Structure 1
Amino acid sequence: MKFAIALFAPPHSPAARRALRFAEATLAGGHEIVRLFFYQDGVHSASSNPVTSQDELDVAASWSRFVSEHKLDAVVCIAAALRRGVLNTEEASRYQRPAANLQAPWELSGLGQLHEAAQLADRLVCFGGD
């Protein structure tokens, strides 16, 4: 089965951890992830800046490792990211900000990527959000 996974919650939330565990179980079960889409506060899971306490799971770093290891299509909504200060090098330069905090394997793109993922997948599974 093909899955698209959308995360709307920040990395410190239970929803972000559940989404990560669901994605891991999806691949372990022999299924495919056609796209991961990070929207609203979920964009913070793609930032390279969060610092997590030593006794907690570093969800942002775990997502980055997972995406890299499995060579997944991981998209961060550009509008949500810009609004929350999650910028790649190009956007930091464009908006004259001092630093970028979005690195590979993440890609900034529009909400249309979520729509496309829903069309490509058998199931769209969403975590978090209001």
Structure 2
Amino acid sequence: MFYLPMKFVISVQASPQSPASRRALKFAQAVLSEGHEILRIFLYQDGVCNATSIPVLPQDELDLGVAWAEFIQQHQLDAVVCVAAALRRGILNTAEAQRYGRKASVLSDSWELSGLGQLHEAIQQADRLVSFGGS
């Protein structure tokens, strides 16, 4: 059987505590293992909390933030966090922390802050948009 690889955009709108965030990561891993491509991972709404480097979880729990960061780095994926949603939740990179006079940046190095236009652009190039969480 012959199939063409598909191009996916994955949008995560659920917090790291939500089962939807874990499902999103598992789905992304499966997409790549099946030979498909991920054009962009986009975090929006409470999903932006998956990109913070702040939480420290007990050793027996999966740290989704670390898992996402490792996955993104391992596969050199384009990973974007909605800047407006991130700012509302105190998730800043170094430039935004300086811009707003905050003392620390908490955005994991694997992610880039940008606008919803990045999601729109990726959707235009993708075969599928798969969204996890949100209302």
> Under TM normalisation by the shorter chain, which class is it?
over 0.9
Aligned to 2:92, the other structure's residue is in SS state coil
Is the counterpart of residue 117 in structure 1 residue 126 in structure 2?
A: no
Q: Does 1:70 align with 2:83?
A: no
1:90 to 89, 95, 102: 95
Provide the rounded CA distance (Å) in 1 between the counterparts of 2:52 and 2:75. 19
Structure 2: give runs of 5+ residues left out of the alignment: 1-5
What secondary structure, in the 3-state scheme, does the structure 2 residue paired with 1:105 have? coil
2:3 aligns to what? Answer: none
Deviations 1:4-53 (A, max 9, x none): 00000011110000000000000000000000000000001010011222
* Cα RMSD for the two superposed structures: 0.7
* Alpha-carbon separation, structure 2, partners of 1:90 and 1:6: 24
Identity %: 65
Give the alignment's TM-score, normalised by structure 1: 0.98
C-alpha deviation, 1:109, in angstroms? 0.3
Q: Which amino acid aligns with 1:42?
A: G
Work out the CA distance in 2 between the residues paired with 1:31 and 1:16: 20
Report how many aligned residue pairs link the two structures.
Answer: 130
Residue 49 of structure 1 aligns to a residue whose secondary structure is: coil
The AA in structure 1 aligned to 2:28 is: A
Q: Does 1:12 align with 2:17?
A: yes
Find the partner of 2:29 among 3, 24, 27.
24
Task: Give, in whole Å, the separation in 1 of the partners of 2:38 and 2:57.
Answer: 27
Question: What is the CA deviation profile of residues 49-73 of structure 1, one whole-angstrom value per residue up to 9, with x for unaligned ones?
Answer: 1122222111110000000010000
Distance 1:70 1:12, change over 3 A: same
Q: How does 1:37-76 map to 2 (within 5 A)?
A: 37-76=42-81
Instruction: Give the counterpart letter for 2:25 in structure 1.
Output: L
Structure 1 unmatched ranges of 5 or more: none
- TM-score normalised according to structure 2 size: 0.94
**Aligned residue identity for 1:123:** R
Q: Secondary structure at the match of 2:9?
A: strand
